[in-house]
């Protein structure tokens, strides 16, 4: 590991939501429960897991769209605490949302949608400069200048997502949270948008937190991958390591479900099918959250949550029975 300071450093992050369970009763829903990770400059960290595991909440909490319940978020060596810290951070960190249909205002033209962050942060000195910037960002994401006066509903899903990406670039960010940015798009369009994210990263030196549940998409774009289950991080390693040597039983199950184009390899591939449904974060199991669906679970798994330990260089796993499972 280099001594280079990470761009984003998340320490013991918790995000609990109080849910009313009766007239005067409420219970915490532990959407994110004590996770830590860092992302280096120019790196893409993929965050994967089933729906409802807390991936999106992690992204939104880092950007302080939700106030963290506990934990620390550091950006470029500075802790983000005060309102002024958050304001400065939001000039350098933005988000691309999952649904290009609902994340764009239908009453605004494309130029106003992309220009809104410029207006909010006062990033231009006159209208001419504002328009030049808007057209520049449109060009970066492959939109024509004649699209500027049109409305979002006049575009296809892929083009709308490009508008959303152009809007996220408008503040000239260093860090972008990509929240399942291709899951609402046709498969043929997904590859184009993923390649565009790659090109933008090379051109602008961007750092990504790339949230997705499609493991093939994540493998293509990520340097490292973190696997989440029910608010906890269960495995973190380089993309190649996670694909070639997954160690946590949950990661193994996720990867066994990825379709393989070669029929011979696919037939030899043993599918690890999980029993039961993912528990509700309102009534999460004690100890290891995965134990109710894990065939290796023992008494110790019910007693305590395993630590995310470094088992080999850069490969972290949270499992009490790791050595026995991977003998």
What is the CB neighbour count within 10 angstroms for residue 147?
17
Beta bridge partners of 227: 48, 235
Instruction: Give the 3-state secondary structure of residue 217.
Output: helix
Residue 25: inside a domain? yes
What is the CB neighbour count within 10 angstroms for residue 253?
18
Burial of 91 (0-12, 13-18, 19+ CB in 10 A): middle
For CA atoms 237, 40, 35, 61, give the dihedral sign: negative
121, 43: one domain: yes
19, 129: one domain: yes
16, 130: one domain: yes
Instruction: Answer whether 101's CB lies under 8 Å from 181's CB.
Output: no
Task: Return the ∠ at Cα 20 (arms to 17 and 23), rounded to 5°.
Answer: 160
Residues 6+ apart with CB under 8 A from 68: 13, 14, 15, 61
CA distances from 300 to 117, 287, 308, 320 (A): 50, 8, 16, 7
Closest to 282 (Cα-Cα) out of 10, 2, 14, 20: 20
Residue 237: inside a domain? no
Render 143-184 in DSSP notation, one character per residue: --GGGGGSBGGGS-HHHHHHHHHHHHHTT--SEEEEESTTTT
Residue 1: inside a domain? no
182, 310: one domain: no
Distance CA 324, CA 327 (A): 5
Residue 318: inside a domain? yes
28, 174: one domain: yes
Between residues 282 and 11, the one the model is more confident about? 11
Residue 238: inside a domain? no
317, 271: one domain: yes
33, 106: one domain: yes
Closest to 248 (Cα-Cα) out of 321, 154, 187: 321
Q: Could you say which DSSP state residue 131 is in?
A: H
156, 259: one domain: no
Mean pLDDT of 200-229: 92
Residue 235: inside a domain? no
Instruction: Answer whether 231's CB lies under 8 Å from 33's CB.
Output: yes
For position 142, which CATH number holds? 3.40.50.300
Which pLDDT value is given to residue 211?
94
Residue 36: inside a domain? yes
121, 73: one domain: yes
56, 193: one domain: yes
State the SS3 of 50-114: CCCCCHHHHHHHHCCCCCCCEEEEEECCEECCCHHHHHHHHHHEEEECCCCCCCCCCCCEHHHHH
Instruction: Answer whether 201's CB lies under 8 Å from 221's CB.
Output: no
Domain housing 280: 243-327
pLDDT band at 1 (very low <50, low <70, confident <90, very high): very low
Beta bridge partners of 211: 47, 179
pLDDT in tens, 153-196: 899 889 999 999 999 999 999 999 999 998 888 888 888 999 99
pLDDT band at 102 (very low <50, low <70, confident <90, very high): confident
CA distances from 310 to 72, 236, 318 (A): 21, 9, 9
Distance CA 155, CA 150 (A): 9
Mean pLDDT of 18-42: 90
Task: Please give the tally of structural domains in the chain.
Answer: 2
Residue 231: inside a domain? no
Which pLDDT value is given to residue 233?
94
pLDDT band at 148 (very low <50, low <70, confident <90, very high): very high
Q: With 90 as the cut, is the pLDDT of residue 129 above it? A: yes
184, 249: one domain: no
Instruction: Answer whether 45's CB lies under 8 Å from 19's CB.
Output: no
């Amino acid at each position: 590991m280099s001594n280079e300071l990470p761009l984003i450093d998340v320490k013991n992050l918790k995000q609990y939501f109080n849910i009313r369970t009766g007239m005067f009763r409420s219970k915490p829903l532990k959407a994110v429960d004590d996770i830590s990770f860092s992302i280096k400059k120019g790196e893409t960290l993929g965050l994967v897991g089933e729906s409802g595991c807390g991936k999106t909440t992690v992204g939104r909490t880092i950007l302080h769209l939700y106030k963290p319940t506990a934990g620390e978020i550091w950006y470029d060596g500075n802790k983000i605490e005060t309102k002024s810290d958050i304001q400065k951070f939001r000039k350098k960190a933005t988000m691309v949302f999952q649904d290009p249909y609902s994340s764009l205002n239908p009453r605004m033209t494309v130029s106003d949608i992309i220009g809104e962050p410029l207006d909010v942060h006062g990033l231009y000195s006159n209208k001419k400069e504002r328009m030049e910037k808007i057209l520049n960002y449109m060009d970066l994401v492959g939109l024509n200048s004649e699209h500027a006066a049109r409305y979002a509903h006049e575009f296809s899903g892929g083009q709308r997502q490009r508008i959303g990406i152009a809007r996220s670039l408008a503040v000239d960010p260093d860090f972008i949270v990509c929240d399942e940015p291709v899951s609402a798009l046709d498969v043929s369009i997904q590859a184009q948008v993923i390649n565009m994210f790659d090109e933008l990263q090379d051109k602008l030196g961007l750092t990504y937190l790339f949230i997705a549940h499609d493991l093939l998409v994540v493998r293509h774009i990520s340097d490292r991958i973190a696997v989440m289950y029910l608010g906890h991080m269960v495995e973190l390693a380089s993309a190649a390591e996670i694909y070639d040597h997954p160690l946590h039983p949950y990661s193994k199950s996720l990867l066994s479900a990825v379709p393989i184009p070669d029929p011979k390899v696919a037939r030899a591939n043993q599918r690890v099918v999980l029993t039961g449904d993912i528990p509700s974060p309102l009534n999460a199991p004690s100890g290891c959250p995965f134990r109710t669906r894990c065939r290796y679970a023992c008494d110790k798994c019910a007693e305590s949550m395993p630590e995310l330990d470094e088992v080999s260089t850069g490969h972290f796993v949270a499992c009490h029975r790791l050595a026995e499972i991977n003998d």
